[in-house]
Structure 1
Amino acid sequence: MNPESTATKSSPPAILLILLILLIAGSFAADSLIRFPVPGTNEPHYLCKAKHYWNPQWCAGDFFLESSNAHRFFYQVVGFFTQWLTLAQTAILGRLAGCLLLAIGWYRLLRVLTPGIWSPLIAAWMFLGIAAIGNFSGEWIIGGIESKVFAYGFLFLAMANGCEQNWNRAAIYLGLTISWHPVVGVWGLLCALFALACYALVQRKSLSRASLVLNIKQAIPACGWLILCSLPGLVPALSLLQGGTPREEFSANFIQVFYRLKHHLDPMDFNTFSYLMYGFLLAIWLLFRRKENTTFSLRFFQYFIAGTLGLACIGFLLGAGPRPASEMPYYAFRMSLLKFYPFRLFDSLLPLAVTVTLSNTVYQRWFKQEKTDPDAATGNRRIRAGFIALLSLCLLTTVLYSAWIAPPVHKMTARQRADWIDACHWIQNNTPESALFLTPIHQSDFKWYAQRPEYVTYKDCPQDAPGIIEWNRRLKYLRKWGQDYYNKGFDDQALQVLHQQTGITHLLVKRLGPFNTIKPVYQNQTYKIYKLP
């Protein structure tokens, strides 16, 4: 191990360590629960799939639930609890567990990279403040529970052990990252290899042949641990890449990159504020990182962040060009790479890099003053520490307050939301489990409340090529069916065609209609429920 690889730091008492981790986890959980009430944006998507994985009879016949399982490891682990807990209880338990894992990884990484016992907590509050402003490509870490939340917790642990050159542990945690979320894990692995390559290139004159041989010997068992721990999630993910013909792959890539997930994958779709915000954050990081110490830990971390920046730049070059996208040169090849989320780690980890750099800059100024004037520094240090603690606490309060007053993510008024849940509960209590529903296309939590299968919904898109194409076909069919019969009127013939072509037995509608030949079996002020004849 390089003698400069780790800084000798006195560990805080066990009680204080536990308190710090719990405070960080509590801050993450508070922001998650206030800003994203259960069910969060993706929780119906993930947890309904996880419940169906363990109980295929639940919502049997739902197109999305019976599609391929891209995040099988998450469904296996978290879905196990849905057999005894409700979906809401599973979501809360998952959030608490995810926030605790994130807090442990966050504390370990920040303790390696920053001085001061309380710096991990203050940095967590700074991170929440930056995340509350916005993001670059729609990526987030603190929110509802899904596979990437656990993945980022293990990625933080992997980065911390990588900074300390504990390669076997880093490989184990990185393998677990891949198992929980292959995209996050594989990009993390590439950035870690990039960081090591950069360090070796910079230090090539001081690295002896013996040290290179030793590093290679240490890398062999680490690779074994990495492969072993990554298999549970990597195997299902790789199977998705081989599930269609070349024509299907081309069509699915286009649908995914330039339609369904363009807000994550197409840099031409990102808004101007996102570019300005992350340009500002990048400028801060590049400006202040030069003032940080040059230990192996910080260099490894800085090169890792530089790797995420490189991936984002590659993603921008792949996606930049005229629209429609078919006018871009080699657009088929370019979109086949864009579908792997090249902006994901840069989006999530640049705010972390900024918090680390600002924390180190502040502490280094304190230490410099202590060396020049030790007597005057003690009192000043306490005043500054109290001021920063108060400022950070005010920041956390502002973040939680902004989450409290933010509009709901489902974009409904309170009356509409109550009517939606009321209609779903009526369906759960008064329709057979074999019923198949046509629901408003852009809703996301029908299965969560009604516990009945859907024909198709915009949110629940499969991730294999045949599934994506079928998802798109179903949406196009419903759009065409509505257009064909809108002027003629939705009579018995229209309803019979819909039932024969789709198997739909019930309709839950808000604006669709009028249906002249059938009457709703239930309705409230916003929604109507019909049973097809």
Structure 2
Amino acid sequence: MTRKRAAEVGLGDVVLYEGLRMNKPPQKHINRIAMIREPQAQSQSKIIECAKMVFCVSSTTTFVIILNGGISVGFSNHTGLIPVVRRILDPNYLANDFNIQLRLFHHRGFAYLTAAFVKLIGEDNALIVLNLLGFTFLNVSVYLFCRTFHISRLAVCAVSVLIATNVAWVGRGLETNTFVGNREINPPTFAHAFALFAISSLLQKRYKQTALLCGLTLLFHLQIGISLVLILSPFYLMLRDRFSVQDWFGCLVLFSIPALITIFDLHAMLQRGLVTLPFSRSDIDFRQVHHFEIASLKAATWVALHLAIIISTYIFVKNKQKSDREKFFPVVVISLSLTALSLIHFLDYYLLNFGSIVKVQFVRMSVFIPIFGAIALVCLINYRAEQRSKEAAIVANLSLIMLTLLLYAVPATRQGRDYSTGIRRLAEQQDSWVAACLWIRENTPPDALFTSPPGNEGFSYLSYRSNVGEFKINPDGPQYLAEWYARLRDLSGGELPMGKGFANVHLLNRAYGALSYEQLSNLGKKYNAKFAILPKSSAVQMNVIYENEKYKIIELPPFGK
């Protein structure tokens, strides 16, 4: 054989040619070439696999963000978070602000992460980038968890579409929070991602990695982290005979490294009265009833149905796929544990009224039951379809995706948010409240203290000024609760409204708008407030320095007059 012919064979190496020319057995040369090429083939395969994963995750992340309503900056919980971030970056920022004091230890790990990004790329850009990172982490966790059960990428996309649309209650739980979180990036999105990473790691028996991921979950959200530790602890107890002292120590260290910030903050909150001060059911109902009471009968029905799907899928795979059976059993146990914790939460909230149990908010992780139910359903469909052919599995996944999108498109069956491809910034809204706050930022002294409608949110975020208090920025448990009540009582004329949760927003604002000039003057003297922002319908007409369609700003009498 000629050298040219050896190259055409495909092995193309002089080594093979020389072996043939010298009439030596070529097998050892073939083996040598195979050993050289096998790592190269594996490397190429990993690159291709990674590229497919990146494409799948980026596509589903974009889809989830759009169907979650796009990206929002400055709304909702951002109004309490960003002033704390500004204080972290500048210790002199609103030095005596009561609202910052309330939120100083609220999700502090996330506040420090946000502060780091703000330092690098600015406030709005930081929140946008964190939004993209959070949703990407979340979709990577869903991808890896689904692939643990050996389903196709198209099947993973079907799961992601169910999560994005909330069809069949997927991504929702027994209270108002969702799996993907709000349009404004918040700690639960990261906490849910790390919790799902931790469960995936547990299924693969990577126990030290699981401990690290539990610590990261606790870092981002105290209640979700505590619930995760409780439901995964039995799996570690089952390993007590197999684990050495070094194994236990390694897990403890890996868990503690990210969790230390939260542990220190928890210690600080305990010193501020987190446990010792009184805290009752009425306190919960006045502030955040939506985080504690059951969302609806429909929510309970859907969660129960998803739990049934999880158990049914386990029964199906029990006699079919051994490897999948071993992985589905922990999912069943975790789902039943989450159900039990949720029932304990509601038992305390509705019957026992201890208060100490509901503080942990076990119900926050109930959103995982429909997630597991959706994954179990998709796995069951794919296992059954693949028994016929791969083409049947493809048709089944595409049909599920199309049906889900159809149910989302019909308003009568839509359970998720309206879609959006934009970025909403609170400071750019054509709104009278925003306009008044921005005017204050440009035209009043930086140390000025304001009274403002307590039901409105975003005052300090928009104006860079302090106000007496507001309903949205409320205490963690009983910390500063009495003073918060006292401020709201003063702002509403001496008596708190009797509504539940967000129903108090309108009641507080209506009472504030009815305050007389004398009452506002007394508020100014008590809290050293220099200005008051009032609804335009207020009867107070003295010392108006600014006015728009819905609000006016008055200057209060100098202190002591």
Which bracket does the TM-score occupy, shorter chain normalised? 0.7 to 0.9
Deviations 1:428-479 (A, max 9, x none): 1111111112222122222222221121000101216342221112112222
Structure 2: 5+ residue stretches without partners: 1-44, 319-323, 497-510
**3-state SS, counterpart of residue 70 of structure 1:** coil
Aligned match of 2:94: 59
Q: In 2, Cα distance between the equivalents of 1:296 and 1:217?
A: 26
CA 1:107/1:215 → structure 2, altered by over 3 Å: closer, same or farther?
farther
User: How far apart are residue 213 of structure 1 and its match?
Assistant: 2.9
Structure 1: 5+ residue stretches without partners: 1-9, 201-206, 322-327, 370-376
Match of 2:292 among 260, 265, 268: 265
User: How far apart are residue 381 of structure 1 and its match?
Assistant: 4.1
Identity of aligned residues (%): 18
Q: Is the 8 A contact 1:115 1:363 kept in 2?
A: yes
User: How far apart are residue 196 of structure 1 and its match?
Assistant: 5.3
Aligned match of 1:22: 58
Q: In 2, Cα distance between the equivalents of 1:152 and 1:60?
A: 34
Aligned match of 1:345: 365
Q: Does 2:81 match 1:41?
A: no
User: How far apart are residue 181 of structure 1 and its match?
Assistant: 1.4
Q: In 1, Cα distance between the equivalents of 2:123 and 2:394?
A: 47
Q: Is the 8 A contact 2:313 2:377 kept in 1?
A: yes
Q: Where do 1:130-141 residues align within 5 Å? A: 130=166, 135-141=173-179
Aligned match of 1:249: 277
Q: In 2, Cα distance between the equivalents of 1:343 and 1:131?
A: 20
Q: In 1, Cα distance between the equivalents of 2:432 and 2:317?
A: 55
Q: Does 2:195 match 1:155?
A: yes
CA 1:115/1:491 → structure 2, altered by over 3 Å: closer, same or farther?
closer
Match of 1:418 among 421, 428, 431: 431
Deviations 1:478-505 (A, max 9, x none): 223489xx99x96654333111112222
Q: In 2, Cα distance between the equivalents of 1:430 and 1:111?
A: 57
Aligned match of 1:181: 221
Q: Where do 1:171-250 residues align within 5 Å? A: 171-195=211-235, 200=238, 212-214=241-243, 218-244=247-273, 249-250=277-278
Q: In 2, Cα distance between the equivalents of 1:358 and 1:37?
A: 32
Q: Is the 8 A contact 1:155 1:174 kept in 2?
A: yes
CA 1:388/1:108 → structure 2, altered by over 3 Å: closer, same or farther?
same
User: How far apart are residue 31 of structure 1 and its match?
Assistant: 3.1
CA 1:43/1:398 → structure 2, altered by over 3 Å: closer, same or farther?
farther
RMSD: 3.4
Aligned match of 2:37: none
**3-state SS, counterpart of residue 59 of structure 1:** coil
Match of 2:467 among 454, 473, 497: 454
Q: Which amino acid aligns with 1:103?
A: N
Deviations 1:92-146 (A, max 9, x none): 1211111111122222212113521232222111122227966421222322212
Q: Is the 8 A contact 1:115 1:360 kept in 2?
A: yes
TM-score normalised by structure 1 residue count: 0.81
**3-state SS, counterpart of residue 480 of structure 2:** helix
Q: Where do 1:313-332 residues align within 5 Å? A: 313-321=343-351, 331=353
Q: Is the 8 A contact 1:255 1:468 kept in 2?
A: no
Aligned residues: 482
Q: Which amino acid aligns with 1:124?
A: S
CA 1:383/1:277 → structure 2, altered by over 3 Å: closer, same or farther?
closer
Deviations 1:224-268 (A, max 9, x none): 21122311222202321232297x611x4555433212221245x
Moved more, 335-344 or 292-301: 292-301
Q: Which has the larger radius of gyration?
A: 2
Aligned match of 1:498: 523
Q: Is the 8 A contact 2:179 2:368 kept in 1?
A: no
Aligned match of 1:302: 332
Aligned match of 1:528: 552
Q: Which amino acid aligns with 2:208?
A: N
User: How far apart are residue 378 of structure 1 and its match?
Assistant: 5.0
Deviations 1:379-428 (A, max 9, x none): 5444334433444555676799963379xxx9x9xx99621221111111
Q: In 1, Cα distance between the equivalents of 2:68 and 2:179?
A: 10
Q: Which amino acid aligns with 2:81?
A: Y
Q: In 2, Cα distance between the equivalents of 1:224 and 1:272?
A: 43
**3-state SS, counterpart of residue 216 of structure 2:** helix
